[in-house]
Structure formats: C-alpha cells, structure tokens
C-alpha cells in the first residue's frame, strides 16, 4: 500500500512544480491567465497598444481602504502591486473627455447606461459593499474600468476611477472560453 501513496505524492509534487514553472514562463512571455468571472476566462497577452475604450488592461489597485477590504474578503488576490494587491484585468469603458455618472442605478457614460453596472448593496455573504458616487468629465489621466459580463464584479462601481499610472499594460485575449 505504501508504493501507490508514494507514487501519488510524487505525481502531485511534479504537477505542482510543473504548474509553477508554467505560470512563471507565461508571465515572462507576457501572458496573463484570467480565471475570474470579470472577463472571459483564458489567456491574455501584453501588447504595446494605446489605452482606448473597449481595450482590456492590467492594473495595480491603489492602496486604500476599499482595496484593503477587497483583499480581506477575497474579492481580489494578493500579489506584487503596492499594498500586496494582485494585478487586476478589466475593460476600459471611459477615458479623457467622457462624462461618467456612477450611482446605485449603475454607470452611465456619455448618457448611456452600461449593462450589468448596477451597484449591489451587499456581497453574496451579506456583507455591505461600498456605495461609490461620481458625476464628472474625465481628465487625461482618468479611466473607468469594469466588467460588462459579471453583475457581481468588483470594479469601478465600488472603487471609482483608475489613474493612468496604475495601468501596467494593455492586454489582448489570446485564447478564451465561457465560464
């Protein structure tokens, strides 16, 4: 009986090491792996393209109490960004010159209501969510980032605008699939 357990343990260890090496190789080659429901699950590659509406971007969250709460509640992962936050992938929905309104009814960009953007008052465990409010015309360094796929995504509805310095890279889907 000891032999099958030893083989299983060695197999699990080999698989763990292989996945670790694969994830490092992917990151070195500029590939992000998204497993969250905020964007299509799959592989995204860093690209040298301008930040425009509709683009996917990787960004470091700002250090503040909203992101501290997000990491404590496991809305976001730990990582190498300031504050120990993980890099997030979201889609750009507004940029310089766009008029943005955020309230409980949702997010409006230039008067158009964005799908799946209504704020929730509590998360699935019943914990209260921040109720961010905004009515502004974005300046040259401000971006509105969110998920149009997941009505429960932790995004601009709860943390507001992101500034240009937080955006690390534009990313493009390489291979994605549905949840």
Q: Identify the structural domains of the chain with CATH numbers, from first to last.
A: 31-177 (2.10.109.10)
Separation between Cα atoms, residue 122 and residue 129, nearest integer Å: 5
Identify the pLDDT of residue 24: 57
Q: What mean pLDDT is predicted for residues 26-45?
A: 84
User: What does the pLDDT average to over 141-159?
Assistant: 94
Confidence (pLDDT) at 17: 63
Give the model's confidence band at 28: pLDDT under 50 very low, under 70 low, under 90 confident, else very high. Answer: low
Confidence of residue 22 (pLDDT cuts 50, 70, 90): low
| Mean residue pLDDT across the chain | 89
In angstroms, the CA 1 to CA 24 distance is 36
For residue 114, give the 3-state DSSP assignment: coil
pLDDT digits (tens, 9 = 90+) for 75-108: 999 999 999 999 999 999 999 999 999 999 999 9
User: For position 178, what pLDDT does the model report?
Assistant: 75
| CA dist., res. 178 & res. 106, Å (int) | 25
Which comes out higher in pLDDT, residue 168 or 3?
168
**In sequence order, what are the residues at sequence separation of 6 or more whose Cβ sits closer than 8 angstroms to the Cβ of residue 84?**
71, 78
What DSSP designation does 128 have?
B
pLDDT in tens, 103-149: 999 999 999 999 999 999 999 999 999 999 999 999 999 999 999 88
């Amino acid at each position: 009986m000891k032999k099958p357990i030893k083989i299983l343990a060695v197999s699990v260890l080999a698989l763990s090491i292989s996945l670790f090496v694969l994830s490092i190789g992917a990151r070195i080659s500029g590939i992000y792996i998204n497993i969250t429901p905020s964007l299509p699950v799959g592989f995204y590659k860093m690209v040298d393209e301008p930040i425009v509406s509709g683009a996917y971007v990787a960004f470091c969250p700002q250090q503040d109490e909203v992101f501290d709460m997000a990491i404590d509640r496991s809305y976001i992962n730990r990582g190498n960004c300031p504050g120990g936050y993980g890099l997030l992938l979201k889609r750009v929905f507004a940029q310089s010159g766009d008029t943005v309104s955020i309230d409980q009814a949702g997010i409006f960009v230039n008067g158009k209501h964005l799908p799946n953007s209504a704020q929730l008052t509590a998360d699935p465990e019943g914990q209260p969510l921040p109720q961010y409010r905004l009515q502004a015309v974005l300046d040259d360094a401000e971006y509105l980032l969110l998920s149009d796929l997941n009505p429960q995504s932790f995004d601009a509805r709860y943390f507001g605008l992101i500034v240009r310095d937080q955006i690390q890279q534009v990313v493009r889907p390489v291979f994605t699939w549905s949840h």
